[in-house]
Structure 1
């Protein structure tokens, strides 16, 4: 998308941020649906044929018209339209679709000159550049680079959004700190953020394959790799698969075995099952009380405002259906049988009182990975906050480890 902002009804689509807003509040919408909406807005002076939409939004991926119908339905729902009302998006039978509501464009090009969403680079005010690559199964993966200097690649984890991360206190200090004197490369995993939400497959192996796809697209020959939370297991699997590419490994709040796998008693198995059941109820209903409990597991030392921001951020990053798919897969992760094959130096950093992932998981990783160093941080947060002393300590250890 380019830098234009389209305003219609009480909505605005901000291209540079890849964001749809209503009355000043962000609206959650699947990336393909947002690309489709953007293309129709940019081409609003004419009826856009179905084949053109398929080529422009899906690029060289072969998809059926059913995919277009699904994305169109999502786009209409996001802006309060429907196939019956067609107040904003009109179906012209036998020809295609046209955006027909009045539109005001701020800071953009005239109608009929849209960038191609599948290949356009997006540069935000933070200086990062966002691009897309495609996994072997056709899933579109969004990745971003920011900063300059030697590369540091971060494996994806729960939950990410390449653009919105810069505006949330949960992640902004991570990005700023990690990009100091480095070229930080990161991506949204399939199912969330700016990557495709509706995907053909959703497994741990897919996540490792997606990391492989991003590395091939960005092109660093050899680089340090950071894995946070379940991203640590993905990073381990990639490092084992490609020892010639990974120079060093940094694991933060990571684990080798998911909650269901590591449960070794009936009580622990019951607790793991209850955690998933509560997630199914809480996420499917988007229950605020559950989401607060969930946020408190990641930031037990956080303030009410930080919890509220974390909840709002999660709601914008993925659908309730995908959130459950993520949590189910997280619980099944197991790289304990391959961790000993990691060949590079590894730094393991973990909060001593982590509520979401117990410190025992860090010690297990340290025992499994041959050339590893374990450092316990004085914190209870799974995701370190900017204000706590442990955050500066974390950055110092990472800087020292990567500079050697």
Structure 2
């Protein structure tokens, strides 16, 4: 089976294990109903006749119309669809049924990542994983990852599939406070970020390595490259910001915007109000469909506690490693969306001016987090490959 799991809207359908989940929570269906859903989804490229469903699910047994209708009704109910509102399963009168929802197939990795653990000097357990072979590369930890989930999430899988190639010995780790690392309060200290990176690099046996920092993780990458110049060979910064919104605010309006942003984030996650959550998520993925925003939100909610979510918001808005950027001496590639609404491209331009041996590439996108299907992603990967393989 090419794709054992499918994402559509807020739902995940596991074809191999015959399970349907909504925002990570399994929906219990009687066996015939889930088999019906899986058969339609697996054959979504064509119309499936009623007789085919009867032969497949009931092995040719005589089945009354009410039994078949009950199974179909249970499936529609499980995905919150009515007979008159058919965006997932469409009935074609007297011909059959077709699964018509927009689907994101998720190919299972050949081998699941082996998660390992190490302890920091202050006793915090950090989770990390190493894949591939070749020159060592570390993706510095950014907020709200989860090594047990991210390689299966449609919003994140391309970041690890395309950046952490098999030809590189790629290391990823969950930051303290989230994922499979200890859910202790996260730290806003660049010194702690640097020491945590030392811990996972030493545990993996890396002496020198390239680093990639995305979004808030760029601050960790910058601090590490500045304070550990003997270990970093090259650095890639994607959608980077060395200063949080409050830290880079210069006018009264800037400060008000930063305060509103923090309030929106806090209220959205504490209230779980979908309208607030989507408003916040749309800053990262402004061109995303509502279902994609919901998938991003659902993943984020599974990565840490609500208390730590709020702490991360507060930490990110006040972080500032801008002064350290001028101390970076390794070759650096900076990639940024030209129309990023979350972190304006001017921040990347300022950063490039501070780092001597740097090159800046502005990509035609409005997403802070690049998606797999937009042209800018393929261009980003080409630039990263050229830079790291140079």
Please indicate, yes or no, whether the TM-score normalized by the shorter chain is above 0.5. yes
Deviations 1:139-183 (A, max 9, x none): 111001122222210001132111211111211011110122212
- The residue aligned with 1:303 is 289
CA distance in 1, matches of 2:380, 2:269: 31
Q: Which residue of 1 aligns with 2:309?
A: 323
Aligned to 1:165: 150
Matched, 1:403 2:389: yes
Matches of 1:170 and 1:184 in 2, distance apart?
Answer: 20
Structure 2 unmatched ranges of 5 or more: 1-18, 27-108
Partner of 2:244 in structure 1?
258
Q: Report if aligned partners of 1:170, 1:383 keep a CA contact under 8 Å in 2.
A: no
Q: Check the 8 A contact 2:249/2:258 in 1, yes or no.
A: yes
Contact preservation (8 Å) 2:212, 2:237: yes
Equivalent residue of 2:236, what SS?
A: strand
Match of 1:362 in 2: 348
**Distance change in 2, residues 1:207/1:290 (3 Å):** farther
Give the distance between the partners of 1:305 and 1:340, measured in 2 at CA: 41
Query: Aligned runs of 1:68-107 on 2, under 5 Å?
Result: none
Larger Rg: 2
Q: CA deviation at 1:207?
A: 2.4
Report the alpha carbon displacement of residue 281 of structure 1 after superposing the two structures with TM. 1.4
Size of the aligned set, in residue pairs, is 289
**Residue 157 of structure 1 contacts residue 228 of structure 1 at CA under 8 Å; is this kept in 2?**
yes
**For the residues of structure 2 that align with 1:282 and 1:182, how far apart are their CA atoms?**
38
Query: Post-superposition shift, 1:320?
Result: 1.6
Q: Name the residue aligned to 1:191.
A: 177
Give the TM-score of the pair, scaled to structure 2: 0.71
Mapped pair 1:285 → 2:252: no
Q: CA RMSD in A?
A: 2.0
What is the aligned partner in structure 1 of residue 213 from structure 2? Answer: 227
Q: Which runs of 5+ in 1 are unaligned?
A: 1-20, 29-123
Task: Please give the residue correspondences for 1:146-161 in structure 2 after superposition, counting only pairs within 5 Å.
Answer: 146-161=131-146
Post-superposition shift, 1:361? Answer: 0.8
The CA deviation at 1:356 is 1.1
Aligned to 1:175: 160
Residue 298 of structure 1: SS of its match in structure 2? coil
The Cα shift of 1:27 comes to 6.2
